[in-house]
Structure 1
Amino acid sequence: MTVNRRIKPASVNPLKIGQSLGAVLALQGCYRAMPIVHGSQGCSAFSKALLTRHFREPIAVQTSALQEMDVIFDANRNLEEALNLVLSKHRPDIIGIIGTELTDVAGVDYQSMLKSYKRERNMRGGLAFSVTLPDFRGSLESGFSVTVEAMIDEMIQQVGHKGIRNVNTRQITLLPGSFLTPGDVMELKEMISSFGFEVIALPDISTSLSGHLLTGFSPLTRGGVPLDSMLQSLQSGLTIAIGGSMERPARRLHNALGTPYKVFEGAMGLKASDDLLHFLHQISGEPVALRYCWQRENLLDSMLDAHFQFAGMSALVALEPDHLRSVSGWLEELGVEQKALITSYETPVVSSMEHEVWIGDLDDAEFLGRGADLWIGNSHGMSGANRIEAAFMAAGFPVWNELGAYMSTSVGYRGALEWTNKAGNLLMRREAERRESSVRHR
């Protein structure tokens, strides 16, 4: 189907989230990592505030704190000072320098600066890489994907040379998309490991942003995949990418090391879960665990139970591209009319969807979704859902109006069951409130 845009002079209530935030999120899934946002203080403050509010956990991030005169004379001096401070005080295993639109437009060559810095100080035993992520391109999803690809590039440069590695056919590298919650990553790891595989998720937010009670304070990331496990992932016999945006990092591993890969556009709903489990069964030769057979039965029964709640209903979905594709497939299985699908920017996944998709903001969502019964999107869309009198289901990023949203599960049969019941309950509550309101006003 076609991808459309409404022509208007300004973005109103933006859906799009900056690429730099996606990069910071990716680095939260690596143990003892430190993202350094090379830009003004506001760039890092924005990422830290939104991520902290969503995950309700401390977020590791530093900044080069550029001001106008720094950009004019020597922006890299600030970056060098930031690197010296981070390395001397915190000694991180992984450093990711995230270039912003400020350094990109000014033409700051921090990539060459980082190379000479590493050479002069003989930096070994850790990863240090840079990415250029201006906010006027892409969105959170692309920032996350580009950062993972840059991380893999740096790993390959250090130890990954084709032909001199011992391939472990019972080990799989999982590349989870930015739209997956810590609960989703945990569920996917369990599904893959149930077939006898060792799983290394890159990055792994299931052990860093899942909520834990660690004592003390560390300015670095706590939890996530350690550096030695990241390097070990180069020995994997297969890469599984969840989300179309993660195909490029998977292809990078394939081109450099010959590692075969499989991309799943989503893992939510009956068909997507069937496809994933059938693939794992084929490559392992192991039977599907009994618990997943039961979960499939539970999901089918739940879909049957909720049939009367979803019949004749329509939904508006405003999410990042990969997440939009995944949720659209789930709604298709429930028989819900997809009144409007809005996303932040165009991708191959969006272009290949069967339904019409709009690139826009939450103002467009409100305009196109009038009459919809269910609004699925981040917390910024709550007021819009109230104005068009639609039931609001929080999903994506950020979600601050619900506790535990970061641990909700949408993948697999169990995740689809959770979403089906949650959406059905919201529609039932909306119908009950409308009946009660009509009785009061008679």
Structure 2
Amino acid sequence: MGNIQRFPHSTKAASTNPLKMSQPLGAALAYLGVDRCMPLFHGSQGCTAFGLVLLVRHFREAIPLQTTAMDQVSTILGGYDNLEQAIRTIAERNKPALIGVATTGVTETKGEDMGGQYNSFRQRNPMLADLKLVFANTPDFIGGFEDGFAAAVTGIVEEVVEPAAATVKGQVNVLAGCHLSPGDVEELRDIIEGFGLTPIFLPDLSLSMSGRQPDDFTATSLGGVTVEQIAAMGASEATLVVGEHMKVAAAALELKTDVRSIFFDRLTGLEASDRLVKTLSELSGRPVPARLRRQREALVDAMLDGHFFFSRKRIAVALEPDLLYAVTSFLADLGAEVIAAVSPTQTAVLEKLRAATVMVGDHSDVETLAREADLIVSNSHGRMGAARIGVPLHRMGLPMFDRLGAGLKVSVGYRGSRELLCEIGNLFLSREMDHDEHGPGHGRGAGHGSGQHDEGHHCGGGSCGCSAG
């Protein structure tokens, strides 16, 4: 791809259209993948309200999320009383299997000793000795969504997983990173079970965030991996680790149980899917199921059909680091040129990106870098910038609040890779058809010729600056 220019951080004094999401929000999503769990933000009510709205808009589900409701006085003098009262109230009223505590900027700035508060709670509340309680330090002024997710998963491993004297034949752990949607997790479950293996996902968003209608109201998370299953992870034959940010949790699990880890930096694309399937075949001692062989043939055929539309296309991508790596690698495999890869945080995986420009920045940086692009790949917050510069937007990641079924999208394995290829390829094909119909004068802004800037934005006759309508 020529010379690579790297810009560690945007030079702007302020973020005007943020791409970054906070650590507490990532921790909350991890906790929501545990059955009968109650995530608890140790901070002010506002910290919880904003996170709650974002998750509700993305998943379109009832999201259980509680707060210790810190005010000015408790923030200055110490918030242990608020924390203890919140945990006791939740335990008595909701009977959760696990309470996951995530700190916020309020408590982290104060510098509260969360380990000491955990010990104090256990000593002062012996009647709640059976309650599983996980504390994660997740300051929202450093790190980002992936860091908070990883901290929560690591806390769950350290608190709940138990070493085992014997191994359960065919049982495997899967540490599923936050870049995997509930649909991705469900697809992975089908692939793994196709080899006769029994997977334990941590967290398991496919059972809690994929859409369920309970007969009775429950104040805790509905579905997900159970506390009993998490405790049994020490008896597995191996742990599949998906995503760079899951390495810390994998190290904690391996240290505690001696279960070996197998790392996957991505599961999108032909080569990545082949490695997963080969690993599962070796673990199970079984041949690859015919269904997966058919799916692989379909992906190869789709790559042959679609590579004409990806060749030399210029694409800008702005996503969380591990999803950013998976998507940019897949696009590069298909012959596209990733002209800009924008991450909300600095992580080790950025060093592996195949992109002309790699930057830690926000959506306004994407808008600047993508003016000559054929496509932008980002979440729903990128829609306004994409509309301003007349470049189509393919929505991925979180949040995606202007589309139905955001949590059910699949982009892993042979089938998911094929679906992603077709979705993006169809945007290019549609754009070329519009270009042919309206003439070369429309050029890069061909979306204007069809009254559209992206997959779903229709111009309103001048409200967005174009002449359509």
Which AA in structure 2 matches 1:369?
A
Distance 1:4 1:117 in 2: 42
The answer to which structure, 1 or 2, has the higher relative contact order (CA under 8 A, 6+ apart) is: 1
Answer yes or no: is 1:50 the counterpart of 2:62: no
Answer yes or no: is 1:375 the counterpart of 2:376: yes
Q: Given that residues 338 and 354 in structure 2 are in contact (C-alpha distance below 8 angstroms), is that contact kept between their aligned partners in structure 1?
A: no
CA RMSD of aligned residues (A): 1.6
Q: Given that residues 329 and 353 in structure 2 are in contact (C-alpha distance below 8 angstroms), is that contact kept between their aligned partners in structure 1?
A: no
Give 1:129's aligned residue. 134
Give 1:186's aligned residue. 186
Distance 2:169 2:374 in 1: 48
- Runs (4+) of structure 1 exceeding 4 A deviation are 434-441
Mapping for residues 283-298 of structure 1, pairs under 5 Å: 283-298=283-298
Q: Given that residues 243 and 264 in structure 1 are in contact (C-alpha distance below 8 angstroms), is that contact kept between their aligned partners in structure 2?
A: yes
CA deviation string 1:170-197 (max 9, x = no partner): 1100011101011100111111121121
Give 1:78's aligned residue. 82
Please give the secondary structure, in 1, of the residue aligned with 2:403: coil
Using the TM superposition, name which of 16-25 and 164-173 deviates more: 164-173
CA distance 1:338–1:8, change in 2 (3 Å): same
Distance 2:183 2:308 in 1: 29
Distance 1:370 1:4 in 2: 21
Give 2:259's aligned residue. 259
- After TM superposition, give the deviation of residue 100 of structure 1 in Å: 0.7
Give 1:333's aligned residue. 333
Which 5+ residue runs of structure 1 have no aligned equivalent?
A: none
Distance 1:174 1:184 in 2: 12
Which AA in structure 1 matches 2:369?
L
CA deviation string 1:272-325 (max 9, x = no partner): 001111111122221111111111111111112222322221111000010011
CA distance 1:435–1:69, change in 2 (3 Å): farther
- After TM superposition, give the deviation of residue 206 of structure 1 in Å: 0.4
Distance 2:114 2:315 in 1: 45
Answer yes or no: is 1:41 the counterpart of 2:42: no
Q: Given that residues 410 and 419 in structure 1 are in contact (C-alpha distance below 8 angstroms), is that contact kept between their aligned partners in structure 2?
A: yes
Q: 2:143 aligns with which of 138, 149, 154?
A: 138
- After TM superposition, give the deviation of residue 418 of structure 1 in Å: 0.5
CA deviation string 1:21-55 (max 9, x = no partner): 00110011101101110001111111110111000
Mapping for residues 276-315 of structure 1, pairs under 5 Å: 276-315=276-315
Give 2:118's aligned residue. 114
Which AA in structure 2 matches 1:377?
S
Q: TM-score, normalised by structure 2?
A: 0.90
Distance 2:85 2:171 in 1: 40
Q: Given that residues 104 and 134 in structure 1 are in contact (C-alpha distance below 8 angstroms), is that contact kept between their aligned partners in structure 2?
A: yes
Answer yes or no: is 1:32 the counterpart of 2:33: no
Distance 1:192 1:19 in 2: 30
Distance 1:18 1:407 in 2: 23
Distance 1:20 1:410 in 2: 26
Q: Given that residues 36 and 98 in structure 2 are in contact (C-alpha distance below 8 angstroms), is that contact kept between their aligned partners in structure 1?
A: yes
Give 2:345's aligned residue. 345
Please give the secondary structure, in 1, of the residue aligned with 2:237: strand
Distance 1:43 1:166 in 2: 44
- After TM superposition, give the deviation of residue 436 of structure 1 in Å: 4.7
Using the TM superposition, name which of 219-228 and 282-291 deviates more: 282-291
Q: Given that residues 391 and 427 in structure 1 are in contact (C-alpha distance below 8 angstroms), is that contact kept between their aligned partners in structure 2?
A: no
Which 5+ residue runs of structure 2 have no aligned equivalent?
A: 442-448, 450-466
Q: TM-score, normalised by structure 1?
A: 0.95
- After TM superposition, give the deviation of residue 112 of structure 1 in Å: 1.3
- After TM superposition, give the deviation of residue 377 of structure 1 in Å: 0.6
Answer yes or no: is 1:423 the counterpart of 2:424: yes
Distance 1:62 1:144 in 2: 17
Distance 2:352 2:432 in 1: 35
Q: Given that residues 205 and 224 in structure 2 are in contact (C-alpha distance below 8 angstroms), is that contact kept between their aligned partners in structure 1?
A: yes
Give 1:168's aligned residue. 168
CA deviation string 1:80-132 (max 9, x = no partner): 22112101111111011111111011112233122221233223333102111
CA deviation string 1:234-286 (max 9, x = no partner): 21121001111111111111112211001100100111001111111122221
CA distance 1:3–1:291, change in 2 (3 Å): farther
